[in-house]
Chain A
């Protein structure tokens, strides 16, 4: 059995492709929202386990915010909130 390493989407680079494995709210302590609310918003924008993600673009200051393709939708968010999205590398 091989162990596929997971990383936080907030740590990924432009061009990263992967699969969402979990939402881990403890990984995003700096987020601007309390964990339950952050989790609900992420799900509402389609960040659900099993969805494919691709990091398309990033901003100028500290590579923030990021534009992420989630399934067939493009979502912009900040890295500190994206830290809660755990992904496996599929690139």
Chain B
């Protein structure tokens, strides 16, 4: 008997953005998938398992979408290196599947030609055949295989049985055990790219019997949604509704989670444990981590909206509508919506913690309104900064050009959407269980030691290191309306903003007394004047980004100089914004 455990063959999915690659990945792997990060970069690594009809177990890797192996971003570098077998931590693919949108083949064919040069077995999966057919596209599969020189199958990721042909082809290709030859791929220059596109166009002419038309639905929708004025108004309306929903729909569930943690805390509070351990579990772990986990319903609703808009094909339109030709506004504005999953969830979290839940003008939720205002403030701030930056050092404000495919609108698939939300929710919980838990333990220790002397009269926390640190900064933050408890939370909040909320949960829990709220996750709102809450929000609009953002800046600029510049200018900006907010709000009577 052969005792050697054979590793499952690796199949890599590569394709243009919007080619339906992720839907295909979901169809292939179902729930047998994992989302993590590639080591050292914030690029999502999606790996799953599938068993073929012949009983072969395969590892499927969904690589980031790209137009070329000539990588221009960290995501595309991962795709290039994975395809070339150069990722130190990953096994090289045994088979590359180039996923192409059957109704939009042209750019995919050029990518396929590039993939052929890598020297590994390659095949193509013509995805979304149903849509292509509906659009009147007729493809001669035999001609396409012949002219392209690689096996081609068709697939409909979203229909039962739609991937049977692909699964069968995976078996055939892997059974053929085609050898890998030395890679001939080199980063193409303009001449090579042009030659590649000409060749792709030739293949296209040979294989397409009938070309389709621009999707009439997309054309009609864009006439409205991309209207210079109307489109912008609709975008604002969508954001407004989205932010209202995030707060309104989540509150019953948040209430339930909060009660569960409060119950858990009470249970631990009565347990026969040494006082210090009881405080650690109750105030550090349960109050700290609990006050972050309470926000899970909001995260779920938020990602539901973001992924829905993305799957609809609307996100690229949103970028189009708010692009400004002079600077990097798009990146600044849309990035929080699309990529930096740390930012907007944290806003929702801070808002529900700090802004009272009540209605204004009878029907509009105050929390959702503040969220909308924050977003608008972010836009105004970005405009000002880019304007000033252009005056001061105009070269740095140049930035990336805006070049982006606007995919056809598609009806989102419930399954795909559910997977997306599920994996984000898991990631949030994982973060709460690791990073945030670690920080909470640290905060608890700072707030508990040194222990008060014998016969102390003040609350125990006032003898702690945390109180000393918080009070030391107080003269600086007093004009902002911040008290020492907030000061303590500000410092870890720079590493990850959601930690600030958890830290306040822990500090107030240890502080105890009549000031402490009775429910975890509801600790903070109502403890301070509204002016302080608004000032704290203003601080978080501009405060230095999560550590990962600074890491990206360092990599992009290749040095610490810009990291330092960014850090301190954001710190200064945050201080100024919080100061102005506090002073104005107090003058208006919100003190």
Interface residues of A (CB under 8 A from B): 31-33, 36, 38-46, 48-51, 56-62, 64-65, 67, 69, 71-81
> Using Cβ atoms and an 8 Å threshold, which residues of chain B touch A44?
67-68, 70, 107, 110, 193
Nearest Cβ in chain A — how far from B312, in angstroms? 15
Question: A75's contact among B214, B398, B404, by CB below 8 Å, is which?
Answer: B404
Question: B232's contact among A32, A51, A58, A60, by CB below 8 Å, is which?
Answer: A60
Q: A43-B193, A44-B107, A72-B211 are in contact. Are A78 and B201 (CB under 8 A)?
A: no
- Report the Cα distance A49→B106, complex, angstroms: 14
Considering only CB atoms, which chain A residue lies closest to B406 in the complex? A74
Instruction: Please tell me if B58 contacts chain A, counting CB pairs below 8 Å.
Output: no
Question: A61's contact among B105, B197, B198, B325, by CB below 8 Å, is which?
Answer: B325
Q: A32-B401, A65-B320, A78-B402 are in contact. Are A73 and B106 (CB under 8 A)?
A: yes
A31 touches B323 (CB 8 A): no
> Using Cβ atoms and an 8 Å threshold, which residues of chain B touch A43?
190, 193-194, 197
Q: A48-B197, A75-B404 are in contact. Are A67 and B325 (CB under 8 A)?
A: no
Q: Provide the B178-222 mask, 1 if CB < 8 A to any CB of A, else 0.
A: 000000000011100110011001000000000110100000001
Question: B103's contact among A31, A49, A72, A76, by CB below 8 Å, is which?
Answer: A72
Q: A56-B222, A61-B325 are in contact. Are A76 and B316 (CB under 8 A)?
A: yes
Question: A72's contact among B104, B321, B401, by CB below 8 Å, is which?
Answer: B104
Instruction: Please tell me if B373 contacts chain A, counting CB pairs below 8 Å.
Output: no
Cross-chain pairs A/B with CB under 8 angstroms, 6 sampled = A40-B193, A43-B193, A59-B323, A72-B103, A76-B320, A79-B325
Nearest Cβ in chain B — how far from A29, in angstroms? 12
Nearest Cβ in chain A — how far from B71, in angstroms? 12
Q: A40-B190, A43-B194 are in contact. Are A75 and B325 (CB under 8 A)?
A: no
Q: A40-B70, A45-B67, A65-B323 are in contact. Are A76 and B402 (CB under 8 A)?
A: yes
B403 touches A45 (CB 8 A): yes
Considering only CB atoms, which chain A residue lies closest to B397 in the complex? A32
Interface of chain B residues 282 through 302 with chain A (CB within 8 A) = none
> Using Cβ atoms and an 8 Å threshold, which residues of chain B touch A77?
401-404
B403 touches A81 (CB 8 A): yes
Instruction: Please tell me if B140 contacts chain A, counting CB pairs below 8 Å.
Output: no
> Using Cβ atoms and an 8 Å threshold, which residues of chain B touch A80?
325, 401
A58 touches B228 (CB 8 A): yes
> Using Cβ atoms and an 8 Å threshold, which residues of chain B touch A49?
194
> Using Cβ atoms and an 8 Å threshold, which residues of chain B touch A74?
214, 405-408
Interface size grouping (class) on chain B: 35 or more
A64 touches B323 (CB 8 A): yes
Instruction: Please tell me if B336 contacts chain A, counting CB pairs below 8 Å.
Output: no
Contacts between chains A and B (CB distance < 8 A), count: 120
Nearest Cβ in chain B — how far from A63, in angstroms? 8
Known contacts A44-B68, A78-B325, then 15 further A-B pairs from the complex at CB < 8 Å, ordered by chain A residue: A32-B399, A41-B401, A43-B193, A46-B197, A56-B222, A58-B228, A72-B103, A72-B214, A73-B106, A74-B408, A75-B403, A76-B319, A76-B405, A77-B403, A80-B325
Instruction: Please tell me if B226 contacts chain A, counting CB pairs below 8 Å.
Output: yes
Question: B325's contact among A41, A65, A71, A72, by CB below 8 Å, is which?
Answer: A65
A40 touches B189 (CB 8 A): yes
- Report the Cα distance A71→B204, complex, angstroms: 11
A71 touches B401 (CB 8 A): no
Nearest Cβ in chain B — how far from A83, in angstroms? 11
> Using Cβ atoms and an 8 Å threshold, which residues of chain B touch A65?
320, 323, 325, 402
- Report the Cα distance A61→B193, complex, angstroms: 33
> Using Cβ atoms and an 8 Å threshold, which residues of chain B touch A72?
103-106, 211-212, 214
- Report the Cα distance A27→B170, complex, angstroms: 48
Instruction: Please tell me if B392 contacts chain A, counting CB pairs below 8 Å.
Output: no
- Report the Cα distance A21→B190, complex, angstroms: 16
Nearest Cβ in chain A — how far from B232, in angstroms? 6
Considering only CB atoms, which chain B residue lies closest to A47 in the complex? B197
Nearest Cβ in chain B — how far from A85, in angstroms? 12
Instruction: Please tell me if B229 contacts chain A, counting CB pairs below 8 Å.
Output: yes
Instruction: Please tell me if B556 contacts chain A, counting CB pairs below 8 Å.
Output: no
> Using Cβ atoms and an 8 Å threshold, which residues of chain B touch A39?
190
- Report the Cα distance A64→B295, complex, angstroms: 39
A57 touches B226 (CB 8 A): yes
Interface of chain B residues 266 through 324 with chain A (CB within 8 A) = 316, 319-321, 323-324
> Using Cβ atoms and an 8 Å threshold, which residues of chain A touch B325?
59, 61-62, 64-65, 78-80
Question: A81's contact among B189, B321, B401, B406, by CB below 8 Å, is which?
Answer: B401
Among the interface residues A43, A58, A61, which one has the most CB atoms of the partner chain B within 10 A?
A43
Interface of chain B residues 206 through 249 with chain A (CB within 8 A) = 211-212, 214, 222, 226-229, 232
- Report the Cα distance A45→B407, complex, angstroms: 13
> Using Cβ atoms and an 8 Å threshold, which residues of chain B touch A40?
68, 70, 188-190, 193
Q: Provide the B313-356 mask, 1 if CB < 8 A to any CB of A, else 0.
A: 00010011101110000000000000000000000000000000
Considering only CB atoms, which chain A residue lies closest to B188 in the complex? A40
> Using Cβ atoms and an 8 Å threshold, which residues of chain A touch B211?
72
Nearest Cβ in chain A — how far from B407, in angstroms? 8
Enumerate the 8 nearest inter-chain pairs by beta-carbon distance, A residue then B residue, closest first: A60-B228, A32-B401, A64-B325, A74-B406, A44-B67, A43-B193, A57-B226, A39-B190
